[in-house]
Amino acid sequence: MDLGIQGRMNQLPVQNKNQQNAVQLIQQGHNEAIKEAVSKAEEMQRQKSAILKEQIDRYIHRVLNDASLLNRDLRYSINRETNEVIIKVVDKSTDKVIKEIPPESLRRLQARLKEQLGLLIDKNI
């Protein structure tokens, strides 16, 4: 009788090993599929970024060309404090700023609100 029980007990680990091997194969296939999907998604993102950059470049050139037809110049700068792009529409003949986006008053207001928010947070801590 002992031999019969021993024989059955020896078979259980074999079945478990087969199941473990099957699970490992499934997991490996799953991991490879995930890696492949991530790789494809990253490649698609790179392609979209390249296409978007080309579209933006074409649009900027068209806008600059249209502005020059109207005797206007567009000047771009980046506000270091807020990391915002500032666009100025300038009359070419007088070098006078016609329009500023966002307006200077709005940028000052934004800076004051940011300062006040910092004071409020500092007081609560």
* Segments making up each domain of the chain, as ranges: 1-69, 71-125
- Per-10-residue mean pLDDT, the chain, length 125: 46 59 71 79 82 81 77 82 83 90 87 80 59
What local confidence, expressed as pLDDT, does residue 4 receive?
46
Name the residue with tokens 């500023």. 100
pLDDT tens-digit readout, 44-65: 888 888 888 788 788 878 877 7
Pair 67, 74: CB distance under 8 Å: yes
Pair 74, 62: CB distance under 8 Å: no
Question: By three-state DSSP, how is residue 119 classified?
Answer: helix
Pair 101, 84: CB distance under 8 Å: no
